Amino acid sequence: MKWIALLALVAGCHAPRGTAPETGSVEGTIFVWDDEAHTSQHPLDDAVVALTQYTGPVPEPGPAKRIVFTDDGFSMRTVTMTYGQRLEIVNASDRVLGPSFDQAPMPALMVAPPRGNGDPLSLHPPHPGYFTLRDRMGNDGVRLDVYVLLHPLHAVSAGGGRYRIDGVPPGPMTVNARVAGLGEASATVQVASGTTRMDLHLEYRPKITRAPASTRVIP
């Protein structure tokens, strides 16, 4: 399925609210092949992983996804959220932070004072999709990739490419992974109670620069 459909998670997902008596977990590692022969690979951090094509009740998403901003930047580079959640930002740095989404300009700039003074700053993505969070107070290079999905079965791969999604209803479903600018991968898995493992491999395909049609290529 195309990734834009994955962002909406509308293809075959039926997710009545409430926690199922027996749910499972899906975990694994996201890799990328380094060569066409598939003999060399390495794990990928910051891959977005989401489950689709499932049926059954899933847990309610939490009220907020919280991240921390320090003098070294955000505590993560990529975050997934469920539509309706708010994004809470705690400023633990010595700088003033004014975050906002590139794709959803705010009528007034919201400012988080340094060193966590006051309540966390809350942002509300206006719709499902992809957003880029940047700082408007002159902190160049501050960036967070935010993916907002309709249903709560998603995660971001952490150190060593590892991911884990809990509260998964039993049954068949599709595990999808994506890294922006690199590629996508998916596989079908049968989930039962307990932990089900599924590793995914993305295939690196470098862009090929072609000569213009009017250019003469000398053999």
Domain ranges (residues) in the chain: 1-60+152-206, 61-150
How would you classify the pairing of strands 162-168 and 24-33?
antiparallel
Q: What is the pLDDT of residues 111-152, one digit of tens each?
A: 888 887 778 999 999 899 999 999 888 777 789 999 999 989
CA distance 99 to 88: 11
CA distance 157 to 206: 22
DSSP state at residue 103:
T
Q: What is the pLDDT of residues 31-71, one digit of tens each?
A: 998 888 788 899 999 999 999 999 888 888 888 999 999 98
Helix, strand, coil percent values for the chain (each to nearest 5)? 5, 45, 45
1-60+152-206 CATH pick, 3.90.1150.10, 3.10.150.10, 2.60.40.10, 3.40.50.2000: 2.60.40.10
Residue 51: closest CA among 148, 125, 149: 149
Q: How confident is the model at residue 213 (pLDDT cuts 50, 70, 90)?
A: very low
Q: Do residues 72 and 59 touch, judged by C-beta distance below 8 A?
A: no
* pLDDT in the model for residue 107: 58
At 218 the three-state DSSP class reads coil
Q: Do residues 9 and 150 touch, judged by C-beta distance below 8 A?
A: yes
Measured in degrees and rounded to the nearest 5, phi and psi for residue 41 equal -150, 160
Helices and strands per DSSP (H, E), number in the chain: 1, 17
DSSP state at residue 57:
-
Domain 61-150 class in CATH: mainly beta
CA distance 191 to 3: 22
Percentage with pLDDT > 90 across the chain? 50
Chain centre distance of CA 67: 14
